[in-house]
Amino acid sequence: MACVKVEQWLAEHCGVPLQKVFKLKTWSYAFVTVLPEHKEKFRENVEGLLMHKCSVSVSEGTPRKSKPKSDEQPSAKRQKVKDFPPGHIPTLKDLQGKLKNKDPGDILHKSAPLIDWSYETQLSMKGTHIKTAVRSFTKQVDKKCKDLSLTAPAWTSFEWSKACEAPLGCACPLDATIGTPEDHLEGYRNKCEFSIGKTDAGEIECGFVRRITDDGYGRIVASCDDVPLVSMAMKKLCKAMRDCVRGSKFEIFERGKGWQKGYWRMVMVRQSTADELLVMVQTATLDEDQAQRLSADLITALTQAEVKVVSIYLQFNNEVSDAARPGAPLKLIHGSAQLRMELLGLSFHIGPLSFYQANSSTCALLYQRALEWLRPEKDVAVLDVCCGVGTIGLCASRCCRKVIGIELIPEAVESAKANAALNKVDNTEWVVGKAEDVLPEVLQGLDPSLEVCAIVDPPRPGLHTSVLRALRACSQLSRIVYVSCNPDSLVEDVVKLTMPSESDADPFVPLRAVAVDMFPHTLHCEMILLLERNSKVKDPRKAVQQTRPVLLHHSG
Ligand SMILES: C[S@@+](CC[C@H](N)C(=O)[O-])C[C@H]1O[C@@H](n2cnc3c(N)ncnc32)[C@H](O)[C@@H]1O
Quick one: three-class SS letters along 181-199? Answer: CHHHCCCCCCEEEEEEEEC
379 belongs to an annotated ligand binding site: no
Tell the CATH topology of 189-343.
OB fold (Dihydrolipoamide Acetyltransferase, E2P) (2.40.50)
Q: Has 485 been annotated as catalytic?
A: yes
The interface pTM score, or ipTM, of the predicted complex is 0.99
Domains 171-180+359-538 and 189-343 share a fold: no
Q: From ligand 1's centre to the CA of 503, what distance in Å?
A: 29
Q: What is the pLDDT along the chain (556 residues), one digit of tens a residue?
A: 766 678 778 878 888 877 777 777 667 788 888 888 788 888 888 888 888 878 888 888 766 544 443 343 333 333 333 466 666 788 998 888 888 777 777 899 999 999 999 999 999 999 999 999 999 999 999 999 999 999 999 999 999 999 999 999 999 999 999 999 999 999 999 999 999 999 999 999 999 999 988 888 889 999 999 999 999 999 999 999 999 999 999 999 999 888 999 999 999 999 999 999 999 999 999 999 999 999 999 999 999 999 999 999 999 999 988 888 888 999 999 999 999 999 999 999 998 988 899 999 999 999 999 999 999 999 999 999 999 999 999 999 999 999 999 999 888 899 999 999 999 999 999 999 999 999 999 999 999 999 999 999 999 999 999 999 999 999 999 999 999 999 999 999 999 999 998 877 799 999 999 999 999 999 999 999 999 999 988 776 666 565 555 545 444 3
Ligand 1 binding site (Cβ under 6 Å of any ligand atom): 355-357, 386-388, 391-392, 406-409, 412, 434-436, 457-459, 485
Q: How far is the CA of 356 from the centre of ligand 1 (A)?
A: 10
Q: Which long-range contacts (CB under 8 A, 24 or more apart) does 244-250 make?
A: 244/297, 244/298, 244/301, 244/302, 245/196, 245/204, 245/206, 246/204, 247/297, 248/294, 248/297, 249/293, 250/283, 250/290, 250/294
- At 554 the pLDDT is 46
CATH number of 171-180+359-538: 3.40.50.150
**8 Å CB contact between 344 and 390:** no
Residue 411: its pLDDT value, please? 84
The sign of the torsion formed by the CA atoms of 430, 436, 438, 443 equals: positive
**Domain chopping of the chain, boundaries:** 171-180+359-538, 189-343
The response to whether 225 counts as a known ligand-binding position is: no
**Phi, psi at 343, each rounded to 5°:** -150, 120
Task: Tell me how far apart the alpha carbons of residues 498 and 507 are, in angstroms, rounded to a whole number.
Answer: 5
Q: Is 357 annotated as a binding residue?
A: yes
Residue with CA closest to ligand 1 atom 19: 434
Catalytic entry in 387, 474, 485, 525? 485
C-beta neighbour count of 113 within 10 angstroms: 18
Exposure on the CB side of residue 386, measured as CA atoms within 13 A: 20
CA of residue 355 to ligand 1 center, whole Å? 7
Per-position DSSP letters for 215-263, written without gaps between them: TS--EEEE--TT-TTS-HHHHHHHHHHHHHHHT-SSPBPEEETTEEE-S
pTM for the predicted model, two decimal places:
0.82
User: If you write DSSP's letter for every residue of 142-179 in order, what string do you get?
Assistant: HHHHHHTT-PPPGGGSHHHHHHTTPPTT-SS-BPPPBP
